[in-house]
Amino acid sequence: MTETAKPISTKALIAASLPRRYRAEQRFRLYGRAAILLAISALALLLFSVGSQGFTAFSIYRFNLPLQLDAKLIDPKHTADPKVIAKGRYRKLIQKALSDAFPEVRSRSDKRALYAFSTGLNSVDLRNQVVKNPSLIGTQIRFTAPLSDDLDLYLKGKITPRKFGKGDGTLTASAPGPKTLTLTGQPGAFEALIQHIRQKRLVQASRLETRAEKLRERIKGANKEVAVVQQTEIKRLENLAADMRQKAKEHTIHLDKLDPSILIDFNQGFIKAIKLSDHQITGTPLLSPTSLEPTQNWQSLTLDSPERARRVTDKQAAWAEALLARGHVKRSFNSIFFTHADSREPELAGIAGAMVGSILTLMATMLAAVPIGILAAIYLEEFAPKNRLTDFIEVNINNLAAVPSIIFGLLGLAVFLNMFHMPRSAPIVGGLVLALMTLPVIIIASRAAIKAVPPSIREAALGIGASKTQTVFDHVLPLAAPGILTGTIIGLARALGETAPLLMIGMVAFIADIPKSLTSPATAMPVQIYLWASSAERSWESRTAAAIIILLLLMIILNLTAVFLRHKFERRW
């Protein structure tokens, strides 16, 4: 019984343990899939957030206006002297062109608001055009320049969403006073707008109530004096909320400073609503309509964030909408971003300076690190005697690869700038510092690649009387080339993305010119991203993301080159 049972029991044991083993295997696969899924979704999230942010920076709104190159403002004495022409009052010319587009804008504050459509630096561009071609003086040209960043953001819907509502039925207008217009539509024409305002007010009220509630929670344990102060704040919030709820019930809505702005586009004019009822709107014209003829062709524009909470006023919004409708403002590809260096004005800032800086820096890195790295690797792997000294060197190379990059920056600062007095902020210094950082990576990768070449090839070459050098350069190096290339490119890609060491040697400065040589002041892409990311204005946000996209693209190109070269050389051998 036992003799026959034994083999069966072995099988049975195995069979019994099988489900557990398979379950373990399945569990492991599940973990693997979960890990991959997590990694992919994290990557997708990153790409989506960067992509959706940066996407808007690739297009820009430009205004295109007729501009009279008035000789009185450029060269009043007709000297035709380039020096005089260069000193013309170009800013004034651009301002006049903007004024001409809206002749009804009279008051100083309104004019200032209108002139904000064009940044002051646009005058430089106009001056350059005129200096290059003085025969333009006295003629009318069409001047194109980027709209200032706030208005660009407004038109992109980034400041507050531009919600248009198609007008329903005929709208008639009457002017009871000089600065008042009454628009009358069919019954229920403004019902949707009224509902929207009511809802907004209720949301606002409940928000205030939550705040009051939170404060109340907080003062429970606090001392009396604080509690008394907070008590009045709570009271104020609650009153406001109650007020809001009350106002939400109004039959005729009186819009106040906390409400969204409602603009009615009527006969090429914009009227800002003040009093809003079922079929009638009373408001002030922000931009006068061309006529008061009744029209079916009207629409409403709702800007949810209250006027005082945003950087673009209702008037500016109306002007921007009008320019857009007239075709004087158009959205187009943001070529400035790819051809300009950094600027104080986001609409004139570009990545080109940083890109050229990065390329120059990387060139310096490559020239310094690649030959030294590969030769060091060859020597250590093929020629150097194996003794304590080479062991010590090897350990130190491995350690250097793990040194934080800012340390290399400090080293560069101390050695290249302070000892050798090399120029500050220059790509050559940045390149050398990055070369120091990349060297260990290249050496380690190259040594691994050389070590991976089968010894039989070396024996074959030595066996027919090739010298050591001939063996290495004729046979070992070609075989190790794909590995060396891959390691080198990955090292360089890392250098391309490095910020910290460049901060130490002054490549973090604001540089408004595209660098021309290895010694001219420059910045690099990651540093540019860092600089923009720490800027306050909203428009930098999208430009930061756009710069990240470009940097990532460069990285991908570099890494694809590595993969491509690897495959190409591997197939040949």
Partner 1 sequence: MDTSVSPATQTTDTPAVQQAPKVQARKVNVFYGNKQALFDVNLDIPDRSVTSFIGPSGCGKSTFLRCINRMNDTIDICRVEGDILLDGKDVYARDVDPVILRASVGMVFQKPNPFPKSIFDNVAYGPRIHGLASNPEELSEIVETSLRRAGLWTEVADRLDEPGTGLSGGQQQRLVIARAIAVRPEVILMDEPCSALDPIATARIEELIDDLRNNYCIIMVTHSMAQAARVSQHTAFFHLGKLVEAGPTEQIFTNPNDKRTQDYITGRFG
| Nearest to partner 1 of 372, 462 (CB atom) | 462
Q: Out of 176, 177, 221, 465, name the contact with partner 1 by CB under 8 A.
A: 465
Q: Does 466 bind partner 1 (CB under 8 A)?
A: yes
Q: Which is nearer to partner 1, 192 or 389 (CB)?
A: 389
Nearer to partner 1, 49 or 469 (CB): 469
Q: How far is the CB of 455 from partner 1 (least distance, A)?
A: 9
Residue 59 structure tokens:
């297009």
**Interface with partner 1, residue 462, by CB under 8 A:** yes
Round to whole Å and give the CA distance between 489 and 491.
5
Residue 473 CB, nearest approach to partner 1 (Å): 11
Half-sphere exposure of 253 (CA within 13 A, CB side): 32
We find the least distance from the C-beta atom of residue 448 to partner 1, in angstroms, to be 19
Cα of 183 vs its chain's centroid, Å: 43
Phi, psi at 465, each rounded to 5° = 90, 20
Stretch that binds partner 1, among 181-189, 199-207, 471-479, 492-500 (CB under 8 A): 471-479
CA distance 275 to 309: 21
Shortest gap between Cβ of 466 and partner 1 (angstroms)? 6
DSSP string of 405-462, one letter each residue: HHHHHHHHIIIIIIIT-PPTT-HHHHHHHHHHHHHHHHHHHHHHHHHTS-HHHHHHHH
**From residue 155 to residue 194, what is the string marking binding to partner 1 with x (rule CB under 8 A)?**
----------------------------------------
Minimum distance of partner 1 from residue 404's CB (angstroms):
36
Task: Out of 461, 472, 518, 546, name the contact with partner 1 by CB under 8 A.
Answer: 461
Q: Considering the complex, state which of residue 26 and residue 467 has its C-beta at the smaller distance from partner 1.
A: 467
Alpha-carbon gap, residue 534 to 503, rounded angstroms: 14
Is 470 near partner 1 (CB under 8 A)?
Answer: yes
Q: Count CB-CB contacts under 10 A for residue 271.
A: 28
Which one among 8, 402, 464, 536 touches partner 1, defined by CB under 8 A?
Answer: 464
Instruction: State in angstroms the smallest separation of the CB of 433 from partner 1.
Output: 37
| CB closer to partner 1, 461 vs 550 | 461
Q: Tell me the window of 233-241, 439-447, 449-457, 551-559 that interacts with partner 1 (CB under 8 A).
A: 449-457
The rounded Cα 290 to chain-centroid distance in angstroms is 40
456 binds partner 1 (CB under 8 A): yes
Residue 260 has what DSSP assignment?
P
- Is 459 near partner 1 (CB under 8 A)? yes
User: Cβ of residue 384: shortest distance to partner 1, in angstroms?
Assistant: 10
Nearer to partner 1, 384 or 415 (CB): 384
**Residue in this structure with the two tokens 């093929």, named with its chain if needed:** 382
Candidates 131, 137, 248, 479: give the one binding partner 1 (CB under 8 A): 479
Q: How many CA atoms lie within 13 A of 328 on its CB side?
A: 17
Block residue for tokens 């002017």: 175
| The two three-digit tokens of residue 412, written as one number | 């560069």
3-state SS string for 101-167: HCCCCCCHHHHHHHHCCCCCCHHHHHHHHHHHCHHHCCCEEEEEEECCHHHHHHHCCCCCCEEEEEC
Q: What is the dihedral of CA 119, 124, 126, 131, to 10 degrees?
A: 170
Name the DSSP letter for residue 348.
G
What is the chain's length?
573
State how far the Cα of 304 lies from the Cα of 318, in Å rounded to an integer.
15
Binding region for partner 1 (CB under 8 A) out of 97-105, 113-121, 143-151, 459-467: 459-467
* 159 close to 310: Cβ distance less than 8 angstroms: yes
Phi, psi of 45 (to 5 degrees): -60, -45
Residue placing its CB nearer to partner 1 in the complex, 84 or 462? 462
The neighbour count for residue 413, using CB atoms within 10 Å, is: 19
Q: Nearest-CA neighbor of 275 among 165, 184, 166?
A: 184
Query: Which residues does 175 contact at the CB level (< 8 Å), separation at least 6?
Result: 181, 182, 292
Single residue of 463, 510, 556, 560 touching partner 1 by CB under 8 A: 463
Give the binding range for partner 1 (CB under 8 A) out of 59-67, 236-244, 469-477, 518-526.
469-477
CB of 471 to partner 1, least distance (A): 10
**Window contacting partner 1 (CB under 8 A); options: 18-26, 98-106, 452-460, 537-545:** 452-460
If binding means CB under 8 A, how many residues of this protein chain bind partner 1?
21
Indicate the residue among 67 and 453 with the shorter CB distance to partner 1.
453
Q: Whose Cβ is closer to partner 1: residue 104's or residue 459's? A: 459
* Residue 539 structure tokens: 């428009």
SS3 386: coil
Per CB under 8 A, which region of 315-323, 357-365, 475-483, 494-502 contacts partner 1?
475-483
Among 457, 490, 558, 565, binds partner 1 (CB under 8 A): 457
Residues 280-319 that bind partner 1 (CB under 8 A): none
Only one residue has tokens 């004024």, namely 99
Token pair 């560069």 is found at: 412
Which of 163, 458, 494, 538: binder of partner 1 (CB under 8 A)?
458
The binding track of 354-393 with respect to partner 1, each residue x by CB under 8 A or -, is -------------------------------xx-------
Residues 135-154 that bind partner 1 (CB under 8 A): none
Which of 254/567 has CB closer to partner 1? 567
If we measure between CA atoms, which residue out of 383, 376, 381 comes closest to residue 441? 376
Task: Pick the closer one to partner 1 by CB: 413 or 453.
Answer: 453
* Residues of the shown chain interacting with partner 1 in the complex, contacts defined by CB under 8 A: 385-386, 454, 456-467, 470, 474-475, 478-479, 573
